[in-house]
Structure 1
């Protein structure tokens, strides 16, 4: 509105000056404005425009300073009022809302899926390792139903020796071998599930960890959002491989098809797979700058599983604080 009024004033002033120039002597007008006797109409127009703009700018500057001063005074008064009304036990606001974290999880999950699709070598190597292991086990246990010969029991060293002392016939010898093979079947399942889940995690997560540290340092997302998205992508593959391998091995070895026994065996293998996957994330986070140490470190965790499985050392010989493991 002020610009419109300025334009009207300028237009009216120019019209009045043109009429004055037509009636009076132009030199008197130039002397009154302090201009020279050249380019009469151009200088007069510019002079009036510059004068009006400078006047308007001074007025706007003064108005702006007045408004800023009033805002500063009002802000100081509100700060004093807020301090007087602040409670001591007030809870601080969360840095990131739940909706933002869910959105971060969704974006990170899609990114992790794209990375898995573009680099499927680790997934295909897992399936190839499982196929080779199943084919080897099929040749080893072909024609020998160790689960049925052993009565479906999980025997340790003491029970095997007890069975050997009870029987002396050829049938008892075959039964003894079946018990040994049943124990080796359980131990080989444990080692396979552990290796196939911790190995790829160590190889992939160690490389991605440097990117995660930089993005988390820039406050792009939280640790909870990243690890949740990573687990949502990895856990389905872990579960599919574990269920397929455990089910096929249960059929190859001729185990007793009892619902409770099979469910318990499958649950133990799934829990072992999830623990191995989490252990891979932990070891990768510890040795994030050295992938060789990460790849060699998972062999350290195999030895306790073999020693505490009960297949090599009887459970009663172990100390009381180790028998629970």
Structure 2
């Protein structure tokens, strides 16, 4: 087995019309990427360097493992096979099908490298869902695409069960459902899915060095249903799922009122958190509290994949693209977390 500490970390460039390439070069210029390799278009990265006011060379390499031969003052870029040409000519801040195709190509290539044991982990810069759709990519976002690619490379008929975790220094939140409508999310909630989320969460937080994670489970309805007055999901599926997880030795408690549980879990100066992680039933229930604390420090971690993947907690920010004003802080945190989780 390859030593992950000796393998390069891959950073996919994201949508070439967004801020992804800029925050990558900014983070790299500050020394925050170390010997990570950019999986992307060399010309796009040159344009990003210029936009950020950085006069640094780009070194194109034939394989990510060749990063050791790149001088410290050059940005190492691996252009994957099949990468669409001309992305650097696309206007900043606009949806383009070819940009979506380029972003998808980089993601697919990065997964191939990490699954083949030639990379330690993947950090993904932001993609644009409309651009992906325009390119004919059938996945609504990174998470679903990575899930399918992992199954394909592993030769599995079914994709591995995954969950999205958003984390910063004060709060960790894992979601049971993600990119579906709210109505559909409620329809999808069931006891097996919640138990599976608790299992995945328990194992993942243990990788953070917490031997027995304290998992708070947020309810779905106001006041966690108020004993069935405002909905029965807590009594019918969420409560029984918690009981089933506890029978397996998982320290899960709840369901708690979703309007207060995040405050209780927040681990801040002078306010030690009561819990190590919160499991929320729906996308916005869970992500609004984390993002309110500051997207610049938030990191998206995909739990359940056969490799480590993290990403910044923000989108393509088309309104900032090409101006050299984007903040790379979340990307820097994502790289740091990927290295921590992969041992690299």
Report the TM-score range of the alignment, normalised by the length of the smaller protein.
Answer: under 0.3
**TM-score scaled to structure 2, two decimals?**
0.21
- Normalized per residue, which structure has more helix? 1
**TM-score scaled to structure 1, two decimals?**
0.21
User: Is the radius of gyration larger for structure 1 or structure 2?
Assistant: 1
